[in-house]
Amino acid sequence: MNTDIRLSVLFLDHPKTIKLRRRLGFAGVESLIRLWCWTAQNKPDGDLLCMDADDIEIAARWEGEGGAFIGELVSLRWLDRGESSGYRLHDWQVHNPWAANAEDRGNKARLSRLARVDKDLYSTAVTEGKTGLTRIEYESLTNRKRISNDPVTPAPAPAPAPAPKTHKDTSATPPCACPHLEIIKEYNSILPILPSVKPKLWNGTRKANLINRWKEDPERQRVEWWREYFNMVKSSPFLTGIKTEWKADLGWLVKADNMVKVLEGKYNNAKPKGTTIGGYEFESR
């Protein structure tokens, strides 16, 4: 994950910055910098096409008049409009090439890791033209490989057989390190279009489901994985209620069956294009 961005020493004296400050005050300049920082963490390629004006102003923590901030960014060409809809940060990849290429570097690193984990899967991926793997692709590949290779070990037949236990195991269970507050914060930030979650009310079955999804796989035991998961949800018109009156929420997204369907691309807008690795078909990103 990116931890910094490149900011020119002449930024504050740039004519566009001066105009933004005159029109919106220092709050506008601060929100622009916040938007850049948010982009480096969540949309490192600078592509905000799946976000509307409200989404962008929320990401930038703009607290002024709705639409004023996004209007000035477009007017001053800090933001470019997409061909059909949405926005892109103007010349983001030119001014922040390191941040813009973060996802590509991570994908290449996971492909290299796969070479150490399973040479057969790595060879298949390279043969099929893969130059990198997303977190979701890597998790799916290694999980399916592990499940298919798990040997079924017959239980030994001791003589005599031990007497069955007649009491429950009351040994202490280690506390779960699932960072609920951080994951909820990422959900509320990336998916403001979905029902928000109040941390104080996050309990019961929903909390237990999140703990279970967190513990199921080491890859999920990082906040970065959940950030990518929520961005996948954000790209789905069905899950975000754009195509229907129904929309998902965090409680729904952490149920076991629902998470599997999301990860397998069943709610993606585009149909799979037949990209296959190790016998598993992926949605093109």
Tens digit of each residue's pLDDT (9 = 90 or more) over 144-198: 666 556 565 555 656 665 655 555 444 443 445 789 999 999 999 999 999 999 9
* Burial (CB count within 10 angstroms: exposed 0-12, middle 13-18, buried 19+), residue 148: exposed
Q: How confident is the model at residue 117 (pLDDT cuts 50, 70, 90)?
A: confident
pTM as predicted:
0.45
For residue 116, what pLDDT band results from cuts at 50, 70 and 90? Answer: confident
Cβ(242)–Cβ(236) under 8 Å?
A: no
pLDDT of 4 above 70: yes
Q: What is the pLDDT of residues 223-273, one digit of tens each?
A: 989 999 999 999 989 899 888 889 999 999 999 999 999 998 888 764 444
- Write out pLDDT tens, residues 193-229: 999 999 888 989 999 999 999 998 888 998 989 999 9
Domain boundaries, the chain: 11-100, 102-149+177-282
Query: 11-100 has which fold?
Result: Arc Repressor Mutant, subunit A (1.10.10)
Tokens, residue 35: 């938007």
pLDDT tens for 120-147 read 888 888 888 888 888 787 877 777 666 5
Residue 58 vs residue 276, higher pLDDT? 58
Helix (H) or strand (E) holding 89, with range, is strand 87-89
- pLDDT tens, residue by residue, 59-79: 999 999 999 999 999 999 999
- Using an 8 Å Cβ cutoff, are 72 and 16 in contact? no
